Amino acid sequence: MTKVMRSAKLDKAGYSYHRSVIQHDPIIGYRFIPNIYSRINYNDNRFTIQVNEQGFRNNISFDEMNDGKLNVLALGDSYLAGDGISNHERFTDIISKRRNINVLNTGLPGAGSDQQLLIQ
């Protein structure tokens, strides 16, 4: 998997970085740009996001998660996606590490239950 490095600064409202890491998706409306690693800087808050080939903030591809561990699918909005924090700081990543399970985080900022239902 080829990673694309990006760097973005947030505006005063804190939303402009989404434009640099989100793209249109014909099925669910939008998702993160696949295969990117982005450093986000906002005042004293600096964090990184890593996106897998499916366009979700995960460090590995969902296809690689056939390692015999329990797989848990997490659906949600920006709270689940981890807006404002790095991937390893999200509760889904912490649970995954502590319980030795795979947590598939499909969180998207602003997503509703209708979009979550369409995630394949």
User: What is the predicted pLDDT for the residue at 23?
Assistant: 92
List, in sequence order, the alpha helices (H) in 1-120. 17-21, 78-81, 91-99, 113-118
List the domain range (segments joined by +) for residue 93.
4-118
Residue 111 CB-density burial (10 A; 0-12 exposed, 13-18 middle, 19+ buried)? buried
pTM (predicted TM-score): 0.79
**Number of structural domains the chain divides into:** 1
List, for residues 42-92, the tens digit of each pLDDT value. Answer: 667 889 999 999 999 998 787 777 788 999 999 999 899 998 899 999 999
